[in-house]
Amino acid sequence: MTTHKVAVIPGDGIGPEVLAEGVKVLNAVADLDGGFRFDFTHFPWGCKYYLEHGRMMAEDGIEQLKAFDAIFLGAVGYPGVPDHISLWDLLLVIRKQFDQYVNLRPVKLLKGAPCPLKDVAREDIDMLFVRENSEGEYAGSGSWLYKGQPHEVVIQNGVFSRHGCERVIRYAYELAREQKKTLTSISKGNALNYSMVFWDQIFAEVGKEYPDVKTYSYLVDAASMFMVKDPGRFEIVVTSNLFGDILTDLGAAISGGMGLAAGANLNPERRFPSMFEPIHGSAPDIAGQGKANPLAAVWSASQMLEFFGHKEWADRLIRIIEEMLVAKTALTPDLGGTAKTFQVGDQVVRRLLLTMGKITDTI
Ligand code: NAD
Ligand code: IPM
Ligand code: MN
C-alpha cells in the first residue's frame, strides 16, 4: 500500500475550518480506493504560534517539512501580526525554499456556480493560470533608506532571471502542447521596460521550440478587461508572480468566488514537497462562524490527488463539486446556501460513497 505523507498547516482564521474538510475528503477517497493511504501530520504554525513563540514556524520548520511528499495549507495572516511578516515567514518562505516555481490555478466555471458576467457562455470560462511563483515582483529584494526620516526612500526590486522566466514559460508551453490548448502570455512590456520586455522576449524564444502551440500576448491591463468581456479568449495562461496573484482573484470572481478557487504550488522536478492550498486568505470577517466554503480546499485536494497520480479521483472530486453546485442542497452562504462548513464536507463524502455504490439512499 502506498502512503502519501502530507504535512498539514491549517494556519489562521478560516484556514483550519476549510482544511479539516479537505483532510476528511482525502481520507474518504483513500478508504474507498484501498490502494493508498494518507499519513497526515499537523503543524500548529501561524499567527497564534507567532504570538506565543515570536516566529511563524519552528526554527527548523523547513527541515521538518522536507520529509513530506506534499503540504496542505489553509490560510495565513490575521489581524495582530503584520501581514508582511506572517506571509513572508510562512507561506512565501515555503514557496521559495522548496522552489515551488509553478503556481497552477484553474479558473473554470462549473455548472451551477454563480457568475456575475452577462452574455458569457459557461464553457468560455475555462482557463488554467500558470503563475510564476519564485521571483519577479515577489523577489523580496529592496531597501528602506533613511527610515522614519522626512527623506526616507523605499526600493522594491522586481527580479526576473533568465532561468526563472524560461522554466515557468516552458512549463506552460508543455501544458498547452499536452492539452492541445492555446497559450497566452500576460505582461506589461510597454511600461516595465526591463522586466517585461525580457519576459516577452523569452516567451517568443521558448515559443520557437513549440511551433504547434498557438500563442497570444496581452498587456495586463487589456487582459483584465478581456477576462471580463471575453473570457473565452483564454485557455492556458502564463504570467508573472504579481500579475498572476491579481488576475486569479479576478478569475475567482468570474468563476463562483473565492470559496471555489484552488491553487497548487509545484516543484515540478519533485526535489521538494509541493504545496496545495485554496487561494483565498484567512477571511477574518467570517472566521469561527462555520460559514467558510471548504470547496476551494476540496478542489486543491483534487489537485493533490492528481499530483500523486490519482487522476480518476481528482476528476471525480471536481464532478462532485459540480453536482453539489447544481443540487444547491449543501452550500455555504457565499454560494447562496445555509450549510455550515462541515456539512459541505460531509456532503462531499456522502456523494463519494454514493458514486462508488457504498450507499444507496438519496442525498
Ligand atoms: P480573503 O481571501 O481572506 O477574503 C476576501 C473575501 O472573500 C472576504 O470577504 C472573505 O470572507 C471571502 N472569502 C474568502 N474565502 C472564503 C471562503 N472559503 N468562503 C467564503 N468566503 C470567503 O482576503 P483578505 O481579506 O484580503 O485577506 C485576509 C488575510 O488573509 C490577510 O492577512 C491576508 O494577507 C491573508 N491572505 C492569505 C492568503 C494565503 O494564505 N494563501 C491568501 C490571501 C490573503
Ligand atoms: C495568494 C496570496 C499570497 C500571494 C499572499 C498572501 C502573500 O494572495 O496566494 O494569492 O500574494 O501570493
Ligand atoms: Mn492572492
- pLDDT per position as a tens digit, 195-237: 999 999 999 999 999 999 999 999 999 999 999 999 999 999 9
The three-class DSSP label of residue 147 is coil
Pocket test for ligand 2, best of 87, 103, 135, 280 (most atoms within 8 A of CB): 87
What is the arithmetic mean of pLDDT over 183-188? 99
Ligand nearest to the CA of 78: 1
| Predicted confidence (pLDDT) at residue 185 exceeds the cutoff of 80 | yes
Q: How confident is the model at residue 171 (pLDDT cuts 50, 70, 90)?
A: very high
Neighbours of 235 (CB within 10 A): 18
pLDDT of residue 13: 98
87 lines ligand 2 (CB under 6 A): yes
Among protein residues, the one whose CA lies closest to atom 4 of ligand 2: 245
What is the arithmetic mean of pLDDT over 50-59? 98
Q: How confident is the model at residue 73 (pLDDT cuts 50, 70, 90)?
A: very high
Q: Ligand 1 centre and the CA of 259: distance in Å?
A: 9
Joined grid coordinates for residue 326: 447544481
Q: How confident is the model at residue 65 (pLDDT cuts 50, 70, 90)?
A: very high
Q: Ligand 1: which atom is nearest the Cα of residue 74?
A: 40
* % of the chain residues with pLDDT over 90: 99
Ligand nearest to the CA of 75: 1
Q: Ligand 2 centre and the CA of 296: distance in Å?
A: 15
Q: Ligand 1: which atom is nearest the Cα of residue 279?
A: 41
Joined grid coordinates for residue 204: 517568443
Distance of CA 165 to the CA centre of its chain: 19
pLDDT of residue 143: 98
| Predicted confidence (pLDDT) at residue 363 exceeds the cutoff of 90 | no
Question: Three-state SS across 284-305?
Answer: CCCCCCCCCCCHHHHHHHHHHH
Among protein residues, the one whose CA lies closest to atom 11 of ligand 2: 245
Q: Ligand 2: which atom is nearest the Cα of residue 133?
A: 12
Pocket test for ligand 1, best of 258, 285, 295, 299 (most atoms within 8 A of CB): 258
pLDDT of residue 165: 98
Rounded Cα distance between 97 and 60, Å, is 12
| Predicted confidence (pLDDT) at residue 21 exceeds the cutoff of 90 | yes
Q: Which residues contact residue 85 at a Cβ distance below 8 angstroms, ignoring those fewer than 6 apart?
A: 50, 56
Rounded Cα distance between 95 and 45, Å, is 15
Bridge-partner residues for 276, per DSSP?
72, 264
pLDDT of residue 361: 78
17 lines ligand 2 (CB under 6 A): no
What is the arithmetic mean of pLDDT over 308-322? 98
What is the arithmetic mean of pLDDT over 87-108? 98
Mean pLDDT of the chain: 98
Helices (H) and strands (E) in the chain, counts: 12, 12
| Predicted confidence (pLDDT) at residue 43 exceeds the cutoff of 90 | yes
Distance of CA 175 to the CA centre of its chain: 17
Query: How confident is the model over 333-343, as pLDDT tens digits?
Result: 999 999 999 99
Contact in structure between 347 and 322 (CB atoms under 8 Å): no
Q: Ligand 1: which atom is nearest the Cα of residue 285?
A: 11
* % of the chain residues with pLDDT over 70: 99
Bridge-partner residues for 274, per DSSP?
70
Considering only CA atoms, which of 133, 125, 134 is closest in space to residue 106?
125
Helix, strand, coil abundance in the chain, percent, nearest 5 = 45, 20, 35
Residue in this structure with the C-alpha cell 455548472, named with its chain if needed: 111
Q: Ligand 1: which atom is nearest the Cα of residue 277?
A: 41
Could you tell me if residue 29 is left (phi over 0), alpha (psi between -120 and 50 degrees) or otherwise beta? alpha
Q: Ligand 2: which atom is nearest the Cα of residue 263?
A: 9
| Predicted confidence (pLDDT) at residue 287 exceeds the cutoff of 80 | yes
Residues making up the chain, counted from first to last: 363
Considering only CA atoms, which of 126, 82, 124, 76 is closest in space to residue 105?
126
93 lines ligand 2 (CB under 6 A): no
245 lines ligand 2 (CB under 6 A): yes
DSSP category for residue 330: S
pLDDT of residue 26: 98
| Predicted confidence (pLDDT) at residue 362 exceeds the cutoff of 80 | no
What is the arithmetic mean of pLDDT over 308-327? 98
Q: Where are the alpha helices (DSSP H) in the chain?
A: 15-33, 47-53, 61-65, 83-86, 92-97, 162-179, 195-207, 220-229, 241-254, 295-307, 311-327, 341-355
- Decide which of 245 and 360 is more confident: 245
What is the arithmetic mean of pLDDT over 354-360? 94
Q: Ligand 2 centre and the CA of 12: distance in Å?
A: 14
User: What residues line ligand 1, using a CB cutoff of 6 Å?
Assistant: 14, 18, 75-77, 83, 87, 91, 258-259, 277, 280-286, 292-293, 296, 332, 334
pLDDT of residue 88: 97
Q: Where are the alpha helices (DSSP H) in 241-331?
A: 241-254, 295-307, 311-327
Q: Ligand 2 centre and the CA of 78: distance in Å?
A: 13
Query: How confident is the model over 271-282, as pLDDT tens digits?
Result: 999 999 999 999
85 lines ligand 2 (CB under 6 A): no
What is the arithmetic mean of pLDDT over 158-163? 98
How far CA 87 is from CA of 18, 81, 82, 140, in Å, comes to 19, 10, 9, 12
Rounded Cα distance between 112 and 326, Å, is 4
β-pairing, 262-266 with 215-219?
A: unpaired
Among protein residues, the one whose CA lies closest to atom 4 of ligand 1: 283
